A and B are shown apart, each in its own frame.
Chain A
Amino acid sequence: MDRWVQSACVLCSNGCGCDIAVKDGRIVGVRGRADDIVNRGRLGPKGLHGSWQAHGKDRLTTPLIRRNGELRETDWDTAMTTIVRRSQDLLAESGPLSHGFYTSGQLFLEEYYTLGVIGKAGLGTPHMDGNTRLCTATAAAALKETFGSDGQPACHADIDLCDALFLFGHNMAATQTVMWARVLDRVKGPGRPRLVVVDPRRTPTAEAADVHLAPLPGTNLALLNGLVRAVIEHGWLDREYVDRHTLGFEELKATVEPYTPEHVAGICRISPADLMRAAEIFGTSERVLSTVLQGFYQSHQATAASCQVNNLHLLRGQIGGPGSGVLQMNGQPTAQNTRECGADGDLPGFRNWDNPEHVEELARLWNVDPLTIPHWAPPTHAMQIWRYAEQGSIRFLWISATNPAVSLPELGRIREILRREDLFVVAQDAFRTETTELADVVLPAALWGEKQGTFTNLSRVVHLSEQAVAPPAGARSDLDIFLDYAHRMGFRDRDGDPLIKWKDAEGAFDAWRECSRGRPCDYSELSYERLRGGSGIPWGGERLYADGVFPTDADYCEDYGHDLLTGASTTPADYRARRPDGRAFLKAAEYTPAQEQPDDEYPFLCTTGRSVYHFHTRTKTSRAPELQKAAPDPWVELSAGDATGLGLSDGDVVRVESARGFVEVPVRIGRCRDGVVFLPFHYGFQAANELTPTEWDPVSKQPLFKISTVRIRRV
C-alpha cells in the first residue's frame, strides 16, 4: 500500500466518508473515515467490495461507433466529431428541442453543473433529466410542495437522538446498511426508540419494528391520510406551531376526515389497531424522525403520500429540532447534485423556472440572453423525454452513467426506442451495458477514484472525492467529455467568449459556488480546501428550519407548487395571493385506487426492489466477487400462503408475467404479504422491468415501479 486518498463512497445515498488505498497506481481497497459525521468509520458491503473491485475489469477503453449495424472501435476525435456533426445538423434543421440528455445519480457535482450549463445556456433545451427521476424525484417534489424548496431538513445525528423512528416504504437494512447500523446501535442499545416500518414485505427492517404496517401496494396515501386524521382527532398536535408556521390546516383536516381507522384498514388491508398504535407513537413521542423512500416514491400517489409525512411533522412541530425531523431519502449517492445543479428537470441553485427574476439571475451569471434558457414550462421529465424520442421529435439522446435498458419501466418499449433509426444515441459509461449495446456512439468514461469531484449525500453533507489513480488509457472523465463537447460546439456567451469558462473540476466547483450563492443550497462558503481532511460538511448547517421559517417566500421559493391530485401547476399569482411568507404548506389529496388492480387474469400485485448486495443495474457490484457470489441471480418472492395455493416450493422456476412482459425465475417463499410478490430490479437478464408499467406520479413524474399486476405459473 503506497497511500490513502480521501473520498466518499458512491454505492448508495448515505455517502460514507472513506479513504481509497493505492498501490502501484491501482486501487487496492477502501477504509471508512472515523471522523466523518455520516458513517464514523463504518462501511457497508457494497462500499467495501463494490466500490473499487470493478475498476480493473471489462473496462471500456476506446470509443465505439456503429457502422453497418455493428459497434466498432474508433478514436476519440472521430467519435466526438460524429456527435458534434449530428448535434449541429439537428440544431440547424429543427432547433434545440431535438436534443435530450439523460444523466445519472452517479456523476459528480462539477459534471452535472457543466452539463446543466451546456443544456440550458449552450443548446437551450428543456429536455434534460436523470435517472434520479426513477429514484428521488418524489423526495424533491415533496420537499418543494411542503417547504417551498428542495433540501433535507434532518441529519444523521437525529438517528442517535430520536425517541421514535418511522421508516415509510424504506427497507433501510437493504438500501443504506451503514445508516441501518446506526439505527441498530439505538434499537439494540439502551433507551431504545420505538420503530415503525411501513412496507408490504416482512423485511429484516420490518422484523426489527415495534409496529409493522404492511399496506397493499398502491394504498400508501389512504394509510397516511388515516395517520394524519388520527393525530388531529386525538389532539396530538402543536396548535401554536401549526398556526404560526403553516398554511392549509383546515383544508388538510377536511381532506383526511373520511379516513377513519376502519375505512383505512379496509383499503390497505391492515389492522385498525396497528394503525392506531402507529399514530399514537407518532403523536406521543417527544422526538420523531421519519425517513421515506422507494416504497412511497415509486408507488401510486407518491408525492401526496410523501407530503403527508411532512405534514405529520409539521402538525407536531417536529422539524428542525434534535432528533425530530424528516429525511425524504435519496437513492443514489449524487442524486442531490443532479437536482441542485440543473442536470435534471430543475434550474440550477433550486431556482424557480416560473420566476422571471430567477431566470434573469442565471442569464446574468452565464452572460447569455434569458430567452436562451428554456423556462416556458417545467423542464421536461425523463418519461416525457423518452416519449418524445418514441414519437421522433427528440432525435439526439445523450445518456451518461446510467443503464436505462435495465432501469426504466417496460423495457420492451425502451429497447424499441433506443433502436429507432431516427434517434441518435450517445452512451457514456465505464463498461459495456445493455444500453451501450443499443447506442450509436459509446464513450468510455473514468470511474470514481479516477477523477476528482464533490458530491452531496442524503443529509446535505458534501464530500470531496480526490483522484486516486489514473483512468485506464483511453477513458476520460465525464467532465472532460462534456467540456470537449462544449468546446467543439463553440458555445459562446453574449460577449463572444466561451460559455464554459472552467477547464477542471475545481474550476467547475468555484463556478457552482457563485451560482448557488444566496440560494437555499448555498455552497459559497465551501471550497476544495475546506473539504480536505476531517469530515464532510453539510450545506445549510446541521439541520434546516430550526426557526420554523421555510423557503416559501414567493421571490425565493424553488417552485410555486402543484395540485397533488392532478399535478396542475399553481400559478405565480395564486401562489402570491396565499402569502406563504415563510410558512410551510399542509398539502393533501384524496386517495384514489391505482389503475392496476388484480383481476382473474393477473391476480397478484408485483412490487420491485433492492438487494443488499447490489446497486442499481449491477455494472459495478456484479464485478465484485463477494457481492456477485452472494446474489448472482434474480428470484421472485411469494408468501407461504400464495405458494401453497399455487402448489409451489422454494426453488421452483416460475414465469411471472404482466400485460407487458415476463421473467422466468426461481421462487423464494416468505417476506411478502398474501397477494403480493416481489422481484429484485437489478438484473439485466430476467429483468423485473420487463413487467413494469409506463405510468408515473402526477407531481414528481416518478414511474410506478411498485405496482404491476401479474400472473404466475410453473415453467
Chain B
Amino acid sequence: MHLATYLGLLHTSLGTLADAFREVAKGHGDEPDVERTCEVLASRIDAQAEKLSPIVDRYGEHRETEPERLHTAEFEQTRTGGVGLLRDLQDLYALSSFTDITWTVVGQAAQGLRDKELMDVVSACEQDTARQLAWLKTRIKQSAPQALIVAKG
C-alpha cells in the first residue's frame, strides 16, 4: 500500500513548509506583517504535523521505492527588496500548494479506507492550508504592482 509512503511524504513536507515560513519570517523582519503572519502560520503547520503524527505511526512511515522523487524542494535563503519579497512569497505559495494537493490525495485514500480519524484530520488541515494560500495570494497581489513597476533594487 502506498498510503504509508504518502503519509511520510506529507509529514516531511509539512516540516519543510513550516521551516520555510519561519525562514521568510526571519528574512523579512522589515515587513512586520509578513514576519508575524508567517510565524503564526508556521506554528499552525506544526499543529498539522502533530495531528498527523499518530496516523503516520498507525500506518507506519513505510516508504516504497524511489523516495527521493517524492521529496519536496527545500526552501533556500530569503531574498531582499520588493521583488525579493515577492519571490519568497511565491516560493511559499508553491510549497503550500504542494502540501494542499498532498492533503487532497491523502484525503481520497482516507475515504477509500473509511478511515474516519484520518478524514477528520484532512478536513481540518485542508481548511488551514486554504488559509495559508489565501493569505499568500492576498499579500502577493498587494506587493506585485509596486515591486514590478516602481521598486528599486
Contacts and interface: CB of A to CB of B under 8 A. Distances in A.
Interface string B5-38: 0000000000000000000000000111100110
Interface in B36-78: 36-37, 39-41
Interface in A12-44: none
Nearest to B142: A377
B58 to A, nearest CB: 26
B150 A566 contact: no
B82 A391 contact: yes
A378 interface: yes
Contacts of A701: 33
A565 B40 contact: yes
Contacts of B135: 563, 566-568
Interface string A358-392: 00000000000000000011101000100110011
A187 interface: no
A563 B141 contact: no
Nearest to B143: A377
A393 interface: yes
B32 A95 contact: no
B151 A391 contact: yes
Contacts of A595: 36, 39
A696 B131 contact: no
B146 A376 contact: no
A393 B141 CA distance: 17
A592 interface: yes
B131 A568 contact: yes
A576 to B, nearest CB: 16
Contacts of B82: 391, 393
Given A97-B150, A393-B151, A592-B40, A376 B145 contact: yes
A696 B35 CA distance: 11
B150 A696 contact: no
A97 B145 contact: yes
Nearest to A695: B32
A644 interface: no
B149 interface: yes
Nearest to A594: B36
B150 A95 contact: yes
A695 B153 CA distance: 24
Interface of B: 30-33, 36-37, 39-41, 81-82, 131, 134-135, 137-138, 141-142, 145-146, 149-153
A569 B145 contact: no
Q: How large is the interface on A (under 10, 10 to 19, 20 to 34, 35 or more residues)?
A: 20 to 34
Contacts of A567: 33, 37, 135, 138
A33 to B, nearest CB: 44
Given A377-B141, A563-B134, A592-B40, A393 B146 contact: yes
Given A376-B141, A569-B137, A571-B134, 20 more contacts: A94-B149, A94-B150, A97-B146, A97-B149, A97-B150, A377-B138, A377-B145, A384-B142, A391-B81, A391-B82, A391-B151, A393-B146, A393-B152, A563-B131, A563-B135, A567-B33, A568-B134, A595-B39, A698-B36, A701-B33
Interface in A65-107: 94-95, 97-98
B81 to A, nearest CB: 8
Contact of B33 (A126, A380, A698): A698
Nearest to A565: B40
Interface string A667-707: 00000000000000000000000000111101001000000
B152 A392 contact: yes
A126 B149 CA distance: 13
Contacts of A378: 142
Interface of A: 94-95, 97-98, 126, 376-378, 380, 384, 387-388, 391-394, 563, 565-571, 592, 595, 693-696, 698, 701
Contacts of B142: 377-378, 380, 384
Contacts of B81: 391
Nearest to A595: B36
15 contacts: A94-B150, A126-B145, A376-B141, A377-B138, A377-B145, A391-B81, A563-B134, A565-B131, A566-B134, A567-B138, A568-B131, A568-B135, A568-B138, A570-B134, A701-B33
- Nearest first, the 7 A-B pairs at minimum CB distance are A568-B134, A568-B135, A566-B135, A393-B150, A569-B138, A695-B32, A377-B142
A189 to B, nearest CB: 46
A563 B150 CA distance: 29
A94 B146 CA distance: 10
- Scoring B36, B137, B152 by chain A CB atoms within 10 A of each residue's CB, the highest score goes to B36
A529 B141 CA distance: 45
A695 B40 CA distance: 14
A650 B77 CA distance: 52
Given A97-B145, A377-B145, A694-B32, A566 B41 contact: yes
A566 B43 CA distance: 13
Contacts of B145: 97, 126, 376-377
A701 B138 CA distance: 14
Given A94-B149, A97-B145, A566 B40 contact: yes
B137 to A, nearest CB: 8
A701 B33 CA distance: 9
Contacts of B137: 568-569
A378 B139 CA distance: 10
B42 to A, nearest CB: 12
A376 B138 CA distance: 11
Contacts of A568: 131, 134-135, 137-138
A126 B152 CA distance: 19
B37 A698 contact: yes
A133 to B, nearest CB: 13
A388 B134 contact: no
Contact of A566 (B30, B131, B152): B131
Contact of A387 (B31, B150, B152): B31
A99 to B, nearest CB: 10
Nearest to A704: B32
A388 B36 contact: no
B3 to A, nearest CB: 29
A569 B31 contact: no
A701 B139 CA distance: 13
Contacts of B134: 563, 566, 568-571
- Scoring B33, B141, B149 by chain A CB atoms within 10 A of each residue's CB, the highest score goes to B33
B138 A98 contact: no
Contacts of A570: 134
A568 B44 CA distance: 15
A376 B147 CA distance: 14
A123 to B, nearest CB: 13
B128 to A, nearest CB: 10
